[in-house]
């Protein structure tokens, strides 16, 4: 019985060490990326994403980020990312312009797939 006491003590210390060290292996770094660069156009949304249509006035255009902000007729404000087909149209898009936009929700973004004057 005396030989078991040291072994059970060692086992208890080993188990306690594993329990304390376990959470440190699960820790993950989630530091945000703070670099500012010109964004590439958004990826084309899945063909399964449902299209939405909105008409409104352009509030701002960020050509470097390939994005624009639209104030819809119902008063809501949308920040849309241009897909590759719409991105070239941002060069001529101006604040105050009245437009009709078709967009899809894709990976947490509202991606404009069609942009026409309204």
Q: Which domain holds residue 78?
A: 51-117
Global confidence as pTM? 0.60
Q: How far apart are CA 80 and CA 75, in angstroms?
A: 15
Q: How far apart are CA 77 and CA 9, in angstroms?
A: 65
14 occurs within a structural domain: no
Q: How far apart are CA 30 and CA 101, in angstroms?
A: 35
100 occurs within a structural domain: yes
Domains held by the chain: number? 1
97 occurs within a structural domain: yes
- Please report the DSSP string for 5-65 in residue order: HHHHHHHHHHHHHHHHHHHHHH----PPP----PPPPPPPPPTTSPEEEEEEEEEEEETTT
75 occurs within a structural domain: yes
Region of 75 on the Ramachandran plot (φ > 0 left; ψ -120 to 50 alpha; else beta)? left
68 occurs within a structural domain: yes
96 occurs within a structural domain: yes
User: What is the model's pLDDT at position 49?
Assistant: 74
26 occurs within a structural domain: no
pLDDT tens per residue, the chain (118 residues)?
Answer: 555 566 666 666 666 665 565 555 555 555 555 555 667 777 776 666 789 999 999 999 999 999 999 999 999 999 999 999 999 999 999 999 999 999 999 888 999 999 999 9
72 occurs within a structural domain: yes
Helix, coil or strand: residue 103? strand
User: What is the model's pLDDT at position 61?
Assistant: 97
CATH number at residue 110: 2.40.50.140
């Amino acid at each position: 019985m005396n030989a078991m006491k040291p072994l059970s003590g060692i086992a208890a210390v080993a188990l306690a060490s594993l329990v304390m060290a376990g959470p440190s292996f699960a820790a993950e770094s989630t530091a945000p990326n703070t670099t500012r660069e010109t964004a590439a156009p958004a990826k084309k949304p899945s063909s399964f994403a449902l299209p939405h249509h909105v008409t409104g006035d352009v509030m701002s255009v960020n050509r470097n980020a390939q994005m624009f902000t639209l104030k819809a007729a119902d008063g809501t404000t949308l920040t849309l990312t241009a897909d590759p087909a719409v991105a070239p149209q941002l060069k001529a898009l101006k604040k105050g312009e009245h437009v009709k936009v078709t967009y899809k929700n894709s990976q947490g973004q509202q991606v404009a797939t069609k942009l026409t004057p309204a």
